[in-house]
């Protein structure tokens, strides 16, 4: 798990992943060795781009 996510409770990460999966923003893929991979769908990429535009820092505050 990335260190950035380490500060959040496991329960909240799991709930968020389930909601993103249920809405079609990510695919969760399990392999036979027990590893889990998260893939962002095209809809998830569009959502991330919109969030990035809304929350980007303002460069010139003059």
- What's this model's pTM, rounded to 2 decimal places? 0.65
- The candidate with the shortest Cα–Cα distance to 39, out of 55, 54, 15, 17, is 17
Q: What pLDDT score was predicted for residue 2?
A: 66
Q: pLDDT (tens digit, 9 = 90+) per residue, 3-61?
A: 777 888 889 989 999 999 999 999 999 889 988 888 999 999 998 888 877 666 655 44
Are 26 and 40 a contacting pair, CB within 8 Å?
yes
Q: How far apart are CA 50 and CA 52, in angstroms?
A: 5
Q: How far apart are CA 33 and CA 6, in angstroms?
A: 23
Domain regions of the chain by residue span: 24-57
Query: In which residue are the tokens 């998260």 written?
Result: 38
């Amino acid at each position: 798990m990335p260190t950035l996510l380490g500060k959040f409770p496991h329960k909240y990460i799991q709930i968020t992943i389930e909601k993103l999966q249920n809405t079609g923003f990510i695919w969760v893929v399990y392999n036979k060795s027990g590893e889990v991979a998260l893939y962002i769908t095209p809809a998830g990429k569009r959502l991330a781009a919109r969030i990035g535009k809304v929350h980007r820092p303002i460069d010139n505050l003059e």
